[in-house]
Structure 1
Amino acid sequence: MSTVIDELGARLKTYEGRAAAVAGRGKDPVNEPMIRHWCEAMGDTNPAYTGPDAIAPPTMLQAWTMGGLSGHTGRTGRTGAHDELFDLLDEAGCTSVVATDCEQEYLRPLRPGDEVTFDAVIESVSDRKTTKLGTGYFVTTRMDVRVGPDLVGTHRFRILKYAPARPKGKPEGKPEEKRARARRPRPVVNRDNAGFWEGVERHRLLIQRCTHCGTLRHPWLPGCNACGGPDWDTVEASGEGTVYSYVVMHHPPFPAFTESDDAAGAAGPYAVGLIELAEGVRIVSNVVGLPYDKVRIGLPVRLEFRRYDDDGEDAALVLPVFRVQEGREGEAG
């Protein structure tokens, strides 16, 4: 068998080890307001993040290096290597990008007043890979974060830069056959969350409750994050809630997401909300019943259950979604 030499891959490999940023500086010192906003958004009430001896949540590591909407003044710390790498990929037709994963390592806590600096390096470029999205290359960038001379943490970020896969030109076939080939992804069910999905199948939204301290929690966990207790029971959510936050999703059309969804097609932009239930916990789900560009924080919503892939071949997929209550569209705070 002849060996096909990936000439582009060989060129991309020459970028491994090249700096993507040198001596970058955070726009602001580590500060209490940002810590407070982060904790409020995450619902994290850990006392370590408040008071005179407060530390920043470790997962905020990358936040202190980000340039925000205005970016870093003068592109602080940036080198041309990263842009050159992406230009090569674009020229080769790898014009699409998707984030795949990130890893963080924490060496010491950050505290209000710390001034962060960072360096970044293109750590690795994979061999050419073919995925369901298309063919391309995984690029991993490592960022080392420092306070003064001390390394305080490391952030690795991996993306796939790819050429979108093209249809193979197969005949359309019968509608039911086409649908069978494009079923919605199923949730990953394990021993910790099986009870939640069993409840959803019965059109019940169940919330875990610690039997030791009574704290409600979602998503489902093997133990209480307030007291550490391992024992729990459940309460059923009333279904009332409000939009605590939301994002608008834009992605290429996927055959599994072509069903229309009220005012907005599910294949086009749609709103995904962080819903605060009346019971006090939050859940991520689709916001329906209103065009995506009309969704606002504070909108009252009501739980409903929807069935997908209900074609009789396999078990239908049941998902909880939240509908904006009719006549209350203008009640956002």
Structure 2
Amino acid sequence: MSDTTDRDLHELAVKQAALGEVRGAPAADPVNAPMIRHWLDAMGDANPVYLDQGIAPPAMAQVWTMPGVRRGAKQGSPVDDVMAALDAGGFTGVVATNCEQTYHRPARLGERLTSATRFTDLAGPKRTALGEGYFATWNVTWYAESGEAVAEMLFRVLKFRPPERRPPSPPAEERRPYPLRPAVNRDTEFFWEGVRQGELRIQSCADCGELRHPPGPICPHCRSTNRAHVVASGEGTVYSYVVHHHPPVPGREPPFVVAVVSLPEGVRIVGNIVDCPPEAVGIGMSLRVTYRSMDDELVLPMWAPREP
């Protein structure tokens, strides 16, 4: 990228930041029980306190003002022009890196929330494992009609220039490292050790036995920090899915399917569906876990249609 274009991007970022907090239109619908019920079902949250007390789960703040597929008139967010300029500069890839959330109080049934966006920073260009790119940061605050802040979220994304398409992968002994590496930490290392051994491990509470996925440090059921795991059967069904076409993803050839898979053990897991054309995937499809070597070190669990 030329110095002039880089300077233009930063000048635009400074201009958008100077706008301060820009309010959008009020939510199309007030906080309502049916949407809360759908959310709780999708998240597997059986806590009755929300509907009993007429409040929304705090993490739903963003849901109430999402524009949906048919976005309609442009809301005028200060982020939009920066994203468009980055796209025009060839930085069409995007990956979220941070989402820091602050909850002031739950939203109550009948309240109509309004979001306000403040662009804060553009850092770059920087070289990353995905390619050269810029880190864009902004804050969104949700307000009740009284003007009281309900929740805040800081978003940071990396907008990167996807690498040029390469010829088919060379033989295994010449393969380059797969660019998308999973995060392995104290909470998840047991899972990835299981994958290396051909096991699909699900974290369990060593005290109450509750299963949970993704793994975490504390049992959401009894709040214990004692952890164990079980080995799942490796079978599942498609709970929901998307067919990814754009933006380009390093190491993957679109279109490809990303699915939420329901396991008979009672948890859900996200993974790619392979050995099946995207148009053949459907809700309820029976799947079987399969393990794919992505490079000389990394193995990923994926899902393939189960034989009748």
For 1:231, give the aligned amino acid.
N
Alpha-carbon contact 1:301-1:322 (below 8 Å) kept: yes
Instruction: Tell me how far 1:26 sits from its aligned partner.
Output: 0.5
| In 1, Cα distance between equivalents of 2:157 and 2:150 | 24
For 1:124 and 1:35, the matched residues in 2 are separated by 33
Tell me the residue number matched to 1:16. 17
Contact 1:20 1:80 in 2 (8 A): no
Match of 2:281 among 284, 292, 295: 295
**For 1:176-229, what per-residue CA distance to the aligned partner results, in whole angstroms no more than 9, with x for missing partners?**
599443435443322222222222222122223324322222222333211112
Written as runs of structure 1 = structure 2, the 5 A alignment for 1:111-260 is 111-147=108-144, 148-165=146-163, 175=170, 179-183=174-178, 185-250=180-245, 251-252=247-248, 254=250, 256-257=251-252
Q: TM-score, normalised by structure 1?
A: 0.78
- What value does the CA root-mean-square deviation take over the aligned residues? 3.0
Equivalent residue for 2:63?
63
2:70 alignment partner AA = S
- Contact preservation (8 Å) 1:26, 1:115: yes
In structure 2, how many angstroms separate the alpha carbons of the residues matched to 1:309 and 1:89?
A: 31
Please report how far the alpha carbon of residue 84 of structure 1 lies from its aligned counterpart in structure 2 after TM superposition: 4.3
Task: Tell me if the contact between 1:243 and 1:274 (Cα under 8 Å) persists in the aligned partners.
Answer: yes
User: Please, which moves more after superposition, 116-125 or 144-153?
Assistant: 116-125
Contact map agreement 1:184 1:309 (CA 8 A) in 2: no
Identity %: 41
TM-score, normalisation: structure 2: 0.83
Which residue does 2:262 correspond to in 1? 276
Runs of 4+ in 1 over 6 A off after TM superposition: none
Q: CA deviation at 1:304?
A: 2.7
In our comparison, the structure showing a higher alpha carbon Rg is 1
Distance 1:15-1:206 versus aligned 2 partners, 3 A rule: closer
How far, CA to CA, are the matches of 1:115 and 1:23 in structure 2? 12
Distance 1:178 1:305 in 2: 19
Cα 1:302–1:128 change in 2 (3 A) is: closer
The one-letter code sitting in structure 1 at the alignment partner of 2:65 is: T
Contact map agreement 1:143 1:155 (CA 8 A) in 2? yes
Distance 1:302 1:113, change over 3 A: same
User: Which of residues 308, 317, 327 in structure 1 aligns to 2:298?
Assistant: 317
* Other-structure match for 1:326: 307
- CA distance, structure 2, for counterparts of residue 90 and residue 209 of structure 1: 43
Question: Could you list the per-position Cα deviations for residues 40-95 of structure 1 after superposition, in whole angstroms to 9, with x for gaps in the alignment?
Answer: 112122232232x03211111111111112225x44xx23755544454455x235
Report if the CA contact (8 A) 1:135-1:165 is conserved: no
Q: Distance in 2 between matches of 1:152 and 1:126?
A: 29
Aligned amino acid, residue 296 of structure 1:
G
Unaligned runs of 5+ in 1: 258-266, 311-315, 328-333
When residues 166 and 214 of structure 1 are mapped into structure 2, their CA distance, relative to the original with a 3 A threshold, is: closer
CA contact (8 A) 2:292 2:299 kept: yes
Contact 2:240 2:260 in 1 (8 A): yes
Query: CA 1:209/1:83 → structure 2, altered by over 3 Å: closer, same or farther?
Result: closer
User: How many angstroms does 1:294 deviate by?
Assistant: 1.6
Cα 1:184–1:123, aligned 2, differ >3 Å: closer, same or farther?
A: closer
Tell me what 2:92 maps to: 96
| Number of equivalences | 300
Look up the match of 1:261: none
Query: Structure 1 residues 164, 103: CA separation in 2 closer, same or farther (over 3 Å shift)?
Result: same
Gaps spanning 5+ residues in structure 2: where? none
Deviation at 1:301, TM superposition (A): 1.2
Q: How many angstroms apart in 1 are the aligned matches of 2:248 and 2:130?
A: 10
| Separation of aligned partners in 2, 1:184 and 1:132 | 7
Where 1:128 maps in the other structure, the secondary structure is: strand
Give the secondary structure class of the aligned counterpart of 1:321: strand
